[in-house]
Amino acid sequence: MNRMSPVDYRTIVRRMEGKTAVSIRRSAFSLKLTAYSFKHTAILLPDQYVLRYDALWQSTYEEKSPMHLTDIANRQPHPEPWSEGDNIPWNEPEFSERMLKEHLSQEHDAASRRFEIIDRHVDWIHTYLLGGQAAQILDMACGPGLYAVRLARLGHTLTGIDFSPASIRYARELASAGNLACTFILGDLREVDFGQGFDLCMFIFGEFNVFSPENAARLLAKARHALTPGGLLLLEPHTFEAVQQIGQAPASWSAHPSALFSSRPHLLLEESFWDPGIATATNRYYVIDAATGDVTRYAASYQAYTHEQYRRLLEEQGFGEVTFYPSLGGEAGSSAGGLMAVTGRKQS
């Protein structure tokens, strides 16, 4: 194993500046960041530094009991899914502001898709799924409302729910500027009352897989309760293979003067795990502040399902006529690889 001489973290950030390859992939609250492999390199960190956990999935943040860096070396080699956190900090205000910039970028289809792709998807939903008829629509994990406002412009009435304060603020501003029939709610999908009377509940861009099987079943039950008799559920989940690839990604590290996880110079370490017994991927992220050496850990897990398991899950929650599509637009060749579309109709 190679050893690095002790150096200031800022030196590493400066050396890596302009050389780091980072790709962001929003997956329901999922993020995939890849850069340089550290498989054969040990980064030596001063023993006096401690890890600090950020509270996840909470509207307030409190510091957890500190953890010494020796605990990283002795960490559980294969974490139990969802045991170290539900997701990256979508609800943290500063993080959500940085993520909003990625949502609105037209240079990639990561946090959100480019507008031209969203337009095609919205046309498919409006024309094919809804037959061009005005509908009451619930957009679960709506982000900054890019799908919702477009559907509202076509005559639909939208309710969107998301955990990101910056995204909800932007969605509300967008709807207000266009005088659109949209209501946007800031909250956790697991806790918010969805209401009732919807003709369509949509849950897109891989968000479904971030929830544990128990929570996923609860969300499907809530969606069914929110739908009118015969109402339609639209999911855009990951394929089994896509989740497996997330869990089998190699460990990596990268340096950034400013990026998604922090506006300060920092190092980002990532490791991934695949549990074939329960078909679950887990990612750990360590964000090391270049100036202080403070470390914050985040974790996210993803459940993989086969087509038959998706079908069975929907049927168990009271949906019939389960139909699979190769992509959200109904055609092969979706820009967001590893995603498909599934619909189910509420049974009486």
Domains and CATH numbers, the chain: 2-97+241-296 (no CATH), 133-235+305-346 (3.40.50.150)
Residue written as token pair 């599934």: 342
For residue 78, the tally of other CB atoms under 10 A from its CB is 10
Percent of the chain topping pLDDT 70: 78
Cβ neighbours for 167, distance < 8 A, ≥ 6 positions apart = 96, 99, 100, 103, 142, 143, 144, 145
- Hey, which residues does 203 pair with through a beta bridge? 140, 235
64 has a pLDDT exceeding 50: no
- Rounded Cα distance between 92 and 231, Å, is 34
- The pTM of the full predicted model, rounded to 2 decimals, is 0.80
**Mean pLDDT, the chain, as a whole number?**
82
For residues 277-290, average pLDDT: 92
β-sheet with 252-256: strand ranges across: 67-68, 50-53, 295-303, 280-289, 266-275, 252-256
Burial-class residue 72 by CB neighbours within 10 Å (0-12, 13-18, 19+). Answer: middle
Q: Is residue 40 within 8 Å of 101, Cβ to Cβ?
A: no
- Hey, which residues does 186 pair with through a beta bridge? 162
256 has a pLDDT exceeding 60: yes
Of residues 113 and 92, which shows the higher confidence score?
113
Q: Is residue 287 within 8 Å of 261, Cβ to Cβ?
A: yes
In which band, very low, low, confident or very high, does the pLDDT at 335 lie, cut at 50, 70 and 90?
very low
Given CA atoms 145, 150, 151, 153 in this order, what sign does their dihedral have?
Answer: positive
In which band, very low, low, confident or very high, does the pLDDT at 8 lie, cut at 50, 70 and 90?
low
In which band, very low, low, confident or very high, does the pLDDT at 336 lie, cut at 50, 70 and 90?
low
Percent of the chain topping pLDDT 90: 57
Q: What is the 3-state secondary structure (H, E, C) of the chain?
A: CEECCCCCHHHHHHHHCCCCCCCCCCCCCCCCCCCECCCCEECCCCCCCEEEECCCCCCCCCCCCCEECHHHHCCCCCCCCCCCCCCCCCCCHHHHHHHHHHHHCCCCCCCCCCHHHHHHHHHHHHHHHCCCCCCEEEEECCCCCHHHHHHHHCCCEEEEEECCHHHHHHHHHHHHHCCCCEEEEECCCCCCCCCCCEEEEEECCCHHHHCCHHHHHHHHHHHHHHEEEEEEEEECCECHHHHHHHHCCCCEEEEECCCCCCCCCEEEEEEEEEECCCCEEEEEEEEEECCCCCEEEEEEEEECCCHHHHHHHHHHCCEEEEEEECCCCCCCCCCCCCECEEEEEECC
Amino acid at 21: A
Q: Token pair for residue 83?
A: 């045991």
Q: What is the pLDDT of residues 171-209, one digit of tens each?
A: 999 999 999 999 999 999 999 999 999 999 999 999 999
